[in-house]
Structure 1
Amino acid sequence: MTLQHMERPVGIGTHEGTERVGAGGLGMDFQRLTVRTTVRIISRYGVLLGFLALWQAAASSGWVNAAVLPPVDMIVAALWKGLAGGSLLGDIAISLQRAGLAFAAAVIVAIPLGLMIGQVRAVETALDPILQLFRQTSALALYPVFILLMGLGEASKVFVIFWATLFPLLLNTISGVKEVDPKLLEMARVYGARRLTVFRRVVLPGAVPSIFVGLRLGATTALLLLIASEMIGANKGIGFQVMNAQYNFQIPLMFAAIVILAALGLIANQVLVSLQRRLCRWNDPAS
């Protein structure tokens, strides 16, 4: 048999074979990507998913009292009904308005004050005793005082959130200023940098990471105090919805409101983390 009469193996060295190999390679890559993504999701959220599955099984099978600890699917249904029907949207808007106003006021007051206290020793010496006193006093313990002074309206609710949010942000800002490397400050002064330039180019960038830690702590504190303030003398808000649902024994709705509060906290934290990474790329170990 001559070489001309030898049959070429199908799929080897032909366009059809190249297409088959290429398709197979893409299929393998897709499978690897799917497996890798699944492993990443399980490693990150496996415990949470297992906890939810155990909760669902325990409530559905009667291991726990479903009237007190309803199944996850009932909570999800109540959450969907409240959001789709709009009954929870108004509460979310009111709560975000209260927490947002208090948090913004704390940022406006705490960051400039913390930057000044951290740099001026005389101001720190004068204010430190009263700051330490107020810092150790629970905002919830002072809430009745705020109610007496401002009434049960919006002012007392916003102010108690502001008061509790102020100190984590203020103290972290002061700490950030104090932790700036003294050698950098000395070098800037040796090169003739003015006080404003030193502040803008050395002090402020050095304090930003610590300020963001204070922002994240403050955001968490704002949501915690929001719940407490709305449970007293409020007729709107997520905290009110939690108490109202508990009084009326609408337990799935109560858990749905708690889920919303947790989601708001996660979103606020993620927004601040993303903003910190964008503004502090030089301080990000992953960059």
Structure 2
Amino acid sequence: MKHIFLNLKRFDLPKAYGGVNSLAPLQEWGGQIVRETQAQLQKYDPKQVEFVMYLPEAHLLNAAAARCEGSAVKLGSQSVYREDAAVGGNFGAFTSNRPAGIVKALGCESTIIGHCEERRDKAGVLAEAGVTDPAAVNRLLNREVKAAAARGLQVLYCIGETSEEQPNWQEVLRSQIEIGLDGADRNGAVIAYEPVWAIGPGKTPPDRAYIQMIAQYIKEVSGGMDVVYGGGLKVDNAEMLASIPEVDGGLIALTRFTGEIGFYPDEYLEIIKTYLGF
């Protein structure tokens, strides 16, 4: 099974507010992306490849309403809270947080947990409290993974090393996997590898040999879980990534990095076509 994940981050923010959204009015944005892609994605065999889109919470209802019967598009949330509602327990005291129960109720089938931006945020909060142990972040993420799995949500679990961590990448990745997924139901879960040290303008991305080495290591440590490249699946690297047998797909974010920077559905479809070969 191949996995094509799309993390739409905050690409909904209009240009007038400093964002990159020129695709659609804010209230129509999520639905517009689904409408402009689902017909073309129907040609792919759902037994061979899945397509999951992770949207900001505000757009999930609109995106779910736009899906046609039998749509190839699956929806996901951008992480879940580490605690959840329960019958006879906490039914709604989650101000500012996103319990897995509401994610499921909004129409999601998946969630992305441990993205480098989420890891950075958690590490920053912990540092304010004087906690600098990186294992603490993994323990918090482990609770999110378990909360998501308890609601039947597929988990895309992100791992990766920073430039400071790169000399000890094996230890870092092993810890992220073993602590973050400790005791969790791994059935259907997928790991996304993010080379955090290489993400950003002016940085050199890892080559094929490095990605293959990492993917092999992740499969070894995780017990053979599916691994996707989370450093950005693009038209420029799609054929290379498709040629690595240990890589089971990719995570797309922006589709255009120069000129009118942003996410464009037609370019998203072109990336998929290039990666899958048709």
> Could you say which TM-score interval applies, normalised by the shorter chain?
under 0.3
TM-score normalised over the length of structure 2: 0.24
Q: Report the structure, 1 or 2, having the larger helix content.
A: 1
TM-score normalised over the length of structure 1: 0.23
